[in-house]
Amino acid sequence: MGDTLEFNEIYQESKGSWNDGRLRFSKQNLVYKSSKTGKVDNIPAAELSQATWRRVCLGHGIKLATSTGHVYKYDGFRDTDYERISEFFKANYKVELTEKDMCVKGWNWGTAKFSGPLLSFDVNDSSVFEIPLASVSQCATGKNEVMLEFHQNDDAEVSLMEVRFYVPPGPVDEGADPVEAFAANVLSKADVIQATGDAVCVFKELQCLTPRGRYDILIYPAFLHLHGKTFDYKIPYTTVLRLFLLPHKDQRQMFFVISLDPPIKQGQTRYHFLILLFSKEEELSLTLNMSEEEVEKRYEGKLSKNMSGSLYEMVSRVMKALVNRKITVPGNFQGNTPGAQCITCSYKAQSGLLYPLERGFIYVHKPPVHLRFEEISCVNFARGTTTTRSFDFEVETKQGNQFTFSSIEREEYGKLFDFVNAKKLNIKNRGFKEGMKSKNNEYSDSDEDQHDAYLERMKAEGKIREEGDGSNDSDEETDESFNPGEESDVAEEYDSNASESGSGGDGSDDEGKNKPAKKAKVVKEKRDRKPRKEKKQKDTNAPKRPMSSYMLWLNSSRERIKSENPGISITEISKKAGEMWKQIGKDDKEGWDRKAEEAKKNYEKAMKEYRENGGGSSTPAKNERKKKAGGKKEDKKAGGKKRKSDGGEKEKEQGGNDSFKSREFISSEESSSDGERKKAKKAKGKPKSKGKESEEEEEVMTTPPSSEEDSD
């Protein structure tokens, strides 16, 4: 038999739920470590006084009692483990492992026995059930009745709420009430918080992040009392698992984190962590509400009656002494920011800080997460989903839960990877580090180096829109500042539509004046949007262009650079080659220049032969482009003629409605009468010869409306 015995998947009952863990028997002590909370039970071998083996719901279990009055129960053993454990206990602990059967008769009357922290209900000296008094939250009495209420566990599927015991009245001669005596025995060991006496010390108006608000913290010998404006919490020190003191990234504030199991409750919300935020500049002088002798006796020099210093130091020092647990601080990890021992990231859409510790990770503050290395199955470095300048850190636990810390800056990657590697955590994508390092320079200026086709297309459309808007603005300004006798911008730019802009003055209303300008806008937009050029097709038979002397040297030296620098990326090869080229001597460079010159001559010779054989002059792509270009010219000529003739016809149609004058054409001295206007109208309406008609069109197009009015 060896010096130790180890058992996996051993269960410990905690307020109605089973927590698995590992149990180890050694010559010096018995150690049980919970897989869920990481809490450790350490029982020295010298204190072990009694050991019982019994049949329970999860196979077989061991009940251990110590000389200090504590009782520990562990279940999940197999029947074959009895002999090994019994021999080990006899050889190393000098304690006999006794077998004891439970009573399964189903009787509901018997004898209540108080043995240490347990209340045992026995029938004929056989235990029916046992109640850990530490799970009792309240004890009430009635006539011949005692009612026990229990702390609730959120992890338990079924919870025991209360148990009632009927206590028969005793003989009258005894005097003591058996109900009160029963309740007193329960309350002496129960976890019932009663604020009796004065607090050891009080901290006023401390900023609390979870639960949020400002609370007065009253420190009692057995529990912590948080007193706020809306809620009060009483936290027994037995529920405190760990204490953390974490510096903020700004190096001006400190987090003090208290891990709780079971958590404190606020309605349906559960708070597994109590997080306090302090400023480093806050100072405090503290006086304990105890005598110096009592402080020395109870806390063994950890505290003194009068203390002064930073507020966060005072709180952490008092909590450490009363809870009797070590305070965890960040280790040797240093982030990218100088002096920062944490990493800025996001978890569940909330920004916070991730602290790599010596034995785990902790994230603060909303929601706080603590992950121990021993419960981590593997980690993964994933590329950021929104941008290439950040990455995600994924942690998967052995229970199958996954925690993703996103939006971590790429500069933090190297240090975080080295930290995880040093802690020997299983990394899923171990080759990812090399890939990220090789692309680090490429990503540093991705906006400039990387070609974005969508961005280029949007820029091109924006240019076209701006040009169109510019033409619209100029047309609108022309309409507003129009004066008779002056040529408009539209008339200058589009001579074929001059009659449209000019004849607006003879319209029946203001709308008729503005319509021709709108047509001019459409024409300009159509003209600005040129058809896209077809991509030039390359002739595969044409000779290739000669390379420069540098490129010739690079092609011959590429393999040598790769062999000298294993794992080098493409971008790094170019940088390295540039540096090596600068260091090459003048004679070597002249040799490569001669090779480049020779390659150039060979190219010119090959190109000449290629053209003589008919290559490059009449390719199908060129002929097709010529045909298209010729067709466009003919379309332009035809379109110009059509616009010119259309303008003359419109001028004729609009010229008939001359009875109404718009405001711009009414002069201060009206010399023309209605009769003269009628004569002018008749003269316009007479048929003319073809030659005269075209002359009249040109005259109307080039003459402003004011001059036409004067000539009439």
Q: Cα separation of 607 and 604, whole Å? A: 5
Q: Are 71 and 12 in contact (CB under 8 A)?
A: no
Tokens 């049980």 sit at which residue?
A: 32
CA distance 336 to 417: 13
pLDDT at 109: 87
Rounded Cα–Cα distance for residues 124 and 103 (Å): 8
Other residues' Cβ atoms within 10 Å of the Cβ of residue 127: 19
* pLDDT greater than 70 at residue 446: no
If pLDDT is split at 50, 70 and 90, which confidence band does 631 have? low
Question: pLDDT category, 220, cuts 50, 70, 90?
Answer: confident
Predicted confidence (pLDDT) at residue 100 exceeds the cutoff of 60: yes
Mean pLDDT for the chain overall: 75
Q: Residues 119-149: pLDDT tens digits?
A: 889 988 888 888 888 888 888 888 889 988 8
User: Around Cβ 235, how many Cβ atoms within 10 Å?
Assistant: 18
Whether the predicted pLDDT of 639 surpasses 60 = no
Q: At residue 173, does pLDDT exceed 50?
A: yes
**Over 90: is that where the pLDDT of 489 sits?**
no
* Percent of the chain whose pLDDT exceeds 70: 69
- 17-49 tens-digit pLDDT: 788 889 999 988 889 988 877 788 888 888 888
Look at 510 and 584; give whichever has higher pLDDT: 584
Cα dihedral across residues 647, 653, 658, 663: positive or negative: negative
- pLDDT, position 353: 93
Structure tokens at 253: 């504030």
* Whether 265 contacts 274, CB under 8 Å: no
Residue 110 reports pLDDT greater than 60: yes
User: What is the rounded CA–CA span in Å between residue 4 and residue 536?
Assistant: 81
Among 325-339, 348-362, 698-712, which stretch is predicted with the lowest mean pLDDT?
698-712
- The per-residue pLDDT for range 336-380, each reduced to its tens digit, is 888 889 999 999 888 999 999 999 999 997 899 999 998 999 999
**Strand order from edge to edge, sheet including 111-115:** 111-115, 118-123, 126-132
pLDDT at 473: 47
User: What average pLDDT does the segment 503-518 reach?
Assistant: 44
Lowest mean pLDDT of 13-17, 254-258, 336-340, name the range: 13-17
Helices (H) and strands (E) in the chain, counts: 19, 31
**What does the pLDDT read at residue 259?**
93
Give me the pLDDT at residue 279, please: 92
Greater confidence (425 vs 466) lies with 425
Tokens for 566? 């294993």
Choice between 588 and 660, residue whose per-residue pLDDT is larger: 588
- Residues 380, 394 contacting (CB under 8 angstroms): yes
Token pair 């080659």 in the structure block, residue: 577
Residue 181's pLDDT is: 87
Q: Please tell me the distance from the alpha carbon of residue 240 to that of residue 260, in angstroms, as a whole number.
A: 5
User: Distance (Å, rounded) from C-alpha 578 to C-alpha 345?
Assistant: 38
Q: Which helix (H) or strand (E) element contains residue 642?
A: helix 620-655
Q: 560-585 burial string, b = 16+ CB within 10 Å, else e?
A: ebeeeeeeebeeebeebbeeebeeee
Closest CA to 405 of 350, 335, 331: 350
Question: What DSSP string describes 443-488?
Answer: HHTHHHHS--HHHHHHHHHHHHHHHHHHHHHHHHHHHHT--TTS--
Query: Residue 35: which of 24, 14, 17, 21 has the closest Cα?
Result: 21
Question: Is there a cis peptide before residue 484, judged by omega within 30 degrees of 0?
Answer: no
Which of 29-38, 174-183, 242-251 has the highest average model confidence (pLDDT)? Answer: 242-251
**Residue 691: is its pLDDT beyond 70?**
no
Q: What is the pTM (predicted TM-score) of this model?
A: 0.51
Helix residue ranges, H only, 481-585 = 489-493, 498-502, 510-528, 549-564, 570-583
Q: How many other C-beta atoms can be found within 10 angstroms of the C-beta atom of residue 338?
A: 7
Q: Which of 62-71, 193-202, 334-343, 498-507 has the lowest mean pLDDT?
A: 498-507
pLDDT at residue 626 in the model: 52
Q: What is the mean pLDDT of residues 543-558?
A: 86
Instruction: Look at residue 485 in the predicted model and tell me its pLDDT.
Output: 46
Q: What is the pLDDT of residue 387?
A: 67
Spell out the SS3 assignment of 76-94: EECCCHHHHHHHHHHHHHC
pLDDT digits (tens, 9 = 90+) for 267-319: 778 889 999 999 998 998 888 888 888 888 888 888 888 889 999 999 999 99
pLDDT at position 628: 55
Residues 266, 211: contact at Cβ < 8 Å?
A: yes
10-14, 268-272, 440-444, 674-678: range with lowest mean pLDDT: 440-444
User: Rg for the chain (alpha carbons), in Å?
Assistant: 47
Give the residue-averaged pLDDT of 702-712: 43
Instruction: Give the least confident one: 269-283, 565-579, 628-642.
Output: 628-642
Decide the pairing of beta strands 390-397 and 376-383: antiparallel
